[in-house]
Structure 1
Amino acid sequence: MADYKLKELLKDVPYQVLCGEDGTTVTEIVNDSRKAREGVVFVCIKGAVADGHKYIPDVLKKNVSAIIVEDEVDLKAYGTDADGVTFIKTDDTRIAMARMAAVYYGNPSSKLKMIGVTGTKGKTTTTYMVKAILEQAGYKVGLIGTIETLIGSEQIPSANTTPESLTLQGYLARMVKAGCQVVVMEVSSQALMLHRVEGIEFDIGVFTNISADHIGPGEHSSFDDYMECKSRLFRMCRTGIFNGDDIHLGRILEGHTCSVETFGFKETDNLYAENGKLIYHPGYLGTSFDVKGELNFHVVTDIPGRFSVYNALCAIAICRHFDVKEEDYLKALKDVRVKGRVEMVKVSDDFILLIDYAHNAMALSSILTTLREYHPGRLVCVFGCGGNRARSRRYEMGEVSGRMADFTIITSDNPRYENPEAIMDDIEVGMKKTTGKYIRIADRKEAIAYAIHHGKPGDIIVLAGKGHEDYQEINGKKYPMDERVLIRDILAEDEKSKRV
């Protein structure tokens, strides 16, 4: 990237020069003290674990050009190390960093059609549906979300649903360079709270739904705070597309500055669904419905569950703002797959096996309720819980599976620094509050093999918790473990044993 005068990067940021010159030249913006080096501007960010202000003495030793702070600082305390370094004070360094990053990368969002999707559930699936539809219609689409960032053929695994602003603006700049015309991205409540998307004006903002989640230490202080953060997106977009059936819609709309459209199951919505049906035959689950209102056609999608109607309808509501033909919708929605989101994996003509990311009680209840609506012979749930997380989650998930599944296989997830057997003990506490039948198999591959080998005609088996993850975290190390690979290996081993 080109060098900038600091004041050029700060053109959209209210600031005060504490010492030095805002005309100094900077080569890069960083907020990680380990990346500090000569010529950069270091932004002091207060995170959940560390406060960048504490690292000022370290970065001064690396000859940085400038430092951005929001706290009062005693410049004399740094002695001669601060000589020649520009100190800038602003009210909120997160907002400053996001706006500086946008300028540094050439305001890439202004060169793209930006679609931001927020909500408790449905963000990931909806973004993949939008990408599939628009690409079917001939657009080049970038994607940013929980699973990955996609820039052309490049796939970048995600650490956060919505990246930090420096990373995000860098991705958008690369998408412009790669020839992308549209970006569809998940916008988390944390990203809105922490100003990661500050400086982006979204062409379309989308609200899927909201329910109590992400409330607690390090996240949101209350459900009201959670809703308020979600609602911020609709003061940052031109067009807002909303789930008209969500009971909290009025609260989300408070203070909006965008035009408003709705989707749902009511005739008063701009787009609404009728004749929703669950499709179930040996080895297959799907959904169909009629789109009504401002568009009119019949849709079939291979993603099961009534929530898939909402996700697909939402994607259609977004894509109708682009040049998309009816056949583009139909083909894309029939073919789209989302890794780890009610993802069907073919193992038998007699029963169905799915992989899903459900990793808390609410999500597990949702997926089991969805699958129960297909009236399986048995509903079998294979799951574990992560280590070094609240033990209450284990009791709750055990109770949910015991109450809602016909048979549960308790296994290991990401034990981290805990003993897998101790985690399974906690899950079992919840299970024993129910009459549900279960077995414990600590090794996840063995647990999956047991589910496959004991599958009965009409069963639906769900492997819950890992979803798109391709690793297992044990004692601080991530070991390769992709459930799709495990299934392939199990089936290959079965085939080999038949030939022996």
Structure 2
Amino acid sequence: MNISLEKIRECLLEEQLLKEFTTTEGWSLSVPASLDHKLFDALSYDSRTVSSSTLFFCKGLNFKEDYLKKAVDAGLEVYIAEQPYDVAASLGIIVTDIKKAMAVLSMAFYDYPQNKMKLIGFTGTKGKTTAAYFTKFILDHATNKKTAMLSTMNSTLDGQTFFKSHLTTPESLDLYRMMAEAVDNQMTHFIMEVSSQAYKTNRVYGLFFDVGIFLNITPDHISPIEHPTFDDYFYCKRQLISHAKTMILNRDSDHFQLLKETAELHQTPYIVYGNQQLETDYVYQTTPDDSLAFSVTAKEDKLGIADEYHLRLGGDFNKGNALSAVIAASLVGADHLSCQLGIQEATVPGRMELLTHTNGAKVYVDYAHNYDSLKNLLTFVKEEHPDGRLLVVIGSTGNKAISRRKDFGTVLSELADIAILTTDDPADEEPALICKEIADYITAPIQVETITDRAEAIAAALSLSSAQDAVVLAGKGADLYQKVHGEDTPYEGDYAIADRLIKENGADVFNPKK
């Protein structure tokens, strides 16, 4: 992989991003003659990983000129930034928007890998990971496991080996590097979750999807460092609609009419699914005698997918996610049998995983981490266990999505019998203070405990449970890290902790440190 200065100039001019080239000789809009044949064989935004043939991006709110000076001392010759810096570099490429420039140049450097695969993008407040997994299971059948995926919980570039991604949607430089690796691995399809931040910070600037799926929208990620308002959050989410060749829209989503109007404004063809007949192309209905089955009907079944499907994951909300995946996979070539088999076999790490305590209580592990997903989860579990109590272990993230703390207090007030508040990626905040904020929003007279050690909180919930009860471990899912002060601190995982405690201690008093 390499890119020339002339190609860089061409790409930036095409997107109207280039301000000027700056050297010790002055400013220009032409490539300096002395660097006319300069080739870059690496891109980086980490000043610790540079050489003379690296194009270095000066990006980020925390970027300091000192980082650039150290990179130049290490041999860096050319940087790209939104302003000139007084450093001894051979060339500064000055642009109007560094994040857009990084996206444009990254796709060019990696030879536009997005055009060599079918690209599927999911957005929504909840359900993105589950729907992405459903789609991958379907396409694994249809393509003989030639499907890559970028997901909040797990990602794969060869269809089979998985790794943890730090961001729901990676920085553009990393995104195109991963896409190029998937192409090298002979992947034919690429599924990814597209976050609101990806559009707000231009990580996916200029990227178009073969199929985009808008699952739902409810307030989330509202904070000073993410989205200042719901309007800003929703607007960023809607950008997927104008960057997809075909959209799939959920008729049951809040603000559906605006989603539909957005698709029509941008002349993006769309397919509507949901559990009601009005304005819906594909309708799903629960099979009365089987809570894990649903049927799909259509006014005009152009995709040939109207039939009955069986799930391994409980909850009516997963049926809508499954149908969105069936439609998406069908649009990129999956056959009907692959759709049925994929849906029937799909499992999602940290989603609706179930354990049985020795005393008979059921233990659910789920990634539910915002208002709607938590409410749907607790509603489902409560309906499944009408004769017992609902015990919920939950925390809230630090430094972001501050509004969730009130949301969790509201849901716990409505549905929980016992709430055990604990740690969940506290970042730079004190877990106890986050728990107190949640507790302050609990208005119902339920039992509330604060145990900041998450393993001890899980142990306490198991100890307090009895035969008819259900214990819900919410928020972390299959995540094996806690984000603390900027570091990914290893964490055993909710399911592993609960499984270990049940096996080690039986129905006795639990000791998570045993």
Alignment-mate amino acid for residue 63 of structure 1: G
Match of 2:501 in 1: 490
Larger displacement relative to structure 2 (420-429 or 334-343):
420-429
- Cα deviation for residue 383 of structure 1 reads 2.1
Decide whether the 8 Å contact of 2:118 with 2:332 is kept in 1. Answer: no
Residues 53/257 of structure 1: CA separation in 2 closer, same or farther (3 Å cut): farther
- Cα deviation for residue 472 of structure 1 reads 3.8
Return the match for 1:69 from 75, 81, 90: 81
Offset from partner CA, 1:186-220 (integer Å, 9 cap, x none):
01111112221234331111111111222231222
> What CA distance in whole angstroms lies between the structure 2 residues aligned with 1:61 and 1:251?
52
Identity percentage over the alignment?
31
Alignment-mate amino acid for residue 466 of structure 1: K
Matched, 1:369 2:368: no
Residues 33/342 of structure 1: CA separation in 2 closer, same or farther (3 Å cut): same
Offset from partner CA, 1:348-368 (integer Å, 9 cap, x none):
694421112233455433422
- Cα deviation for residue 60 of structure 1 reads 3.0
Q: Which ranges in structure 1 are unaligned for 5 or more consecutive residues?
A: 280-285
- Cα deviation for residue 297 of structure 1 reads 0.9
- Cα deviation for residue 261 of structure 1 reads 1.3
Matched, 1:216 2:226: no
- Cα deviation for residue 404 of structure 1 reads 1.5
Q: Which ranges in structure 2 are unaligned for 5 or more consecutive residues?
A: 24-30, 510-514
Decide whether the 8 Å contact of 1:9 with 1:100 is kept in 2. Answer: yes
Return the match for 1:110 from 115, 133, 139: 115
Match of 2:295 in 1: 290
Matched, 1:146 2:147: no
Alignment-mate amino acid for residue 187 of structure 1: V
- Cα deviation for residue 409 of structure 1 reads 2.8
Q: Is the partner of 1:274 in helix, strand or coil?
A: strand
> What CA distance in whole angstroms lies between the structure 2 residues aligned with 1:67 and 1:209?
40
> What CA distance in whole angstroms lies between the structure 2 residues aligned with 1:54 and 1:244?
51
Q: Is the partner of 1:13 in helix, strand or coil?
A: helix
> What CA distance in whole angstroms lies between the structure 1 residues aligned with 2:211 and 2:400?
36
Matched, 1:401 2:412: yes
Alignment-mate amino acid for residue 493 of structure 1: E
Counterparts of 1:76-475 in structure 2, within 5 Å, are: 77-78=86-87, 81-82=88-89, 85-139=90-144, 140-152=146-158, 153-252=160-259, 253-254=261-262, 255-267=265-277, 268-275=279-286, 286-293=291-298, 294=301, 295-347=305-357, 350-377=360-387, 378-386=389-397, 394=405, 397-414=408-425, 421=432, 423-431=434-442, 433-472=443-482
Q: Is the partner of 2:308 in helix, strand or coil?
A: strand
> What CA distance in whole angstroms lies between the structure 1 residues aligned with 2:67 and 2:289?
56
Decide whether the 8 Å contact of 1:385 with 1:412 is kept in 2. Answer: yes
> What CA distance in whole angstroms lies between the structure 1 residues aligned with 2:226 and 2:402?
18
Match of 1:50 in 2: 62
> What CA distance in whole angstroms lies between the structure 2 residues aligned with 1:5 and 1:347?
62
Decide whether the 8 Å contact of 1:471 with 1:479 is kept in 2. Answer: yes
TM-score, normalised relative to structure 1 = 0.87
Match of 2:41 in 1: 27
Q: Is the partner of 2:386 in helix, strand or coil?
A: coil
Decide whether the 8 Å contact of 1:238 with 1:257 is kept in 2. Answer: no
> What CA distance in whole angstroms lies between the structure 2 residues aligned with 1:247 and 1:404?
22
Alignment-mate amino acid for residue 57 of structure 1: K
Decide whether the 8 Å contact of 1:278 with 1:304 is kept in 2. Answer: no
- Cα deviation for residue 278 of structure 1 reads 8.8
RMSD of aligned Cα (Å) = 2.9
> What CA distance in whole angstroms lies between the structure 2 residues aligned with 1:276 and 1:55?
60
- Cα deviation for residue 238 of structure 1 reads 1.2
Alignment-mate amino acid for residue 227 of structure 1: F
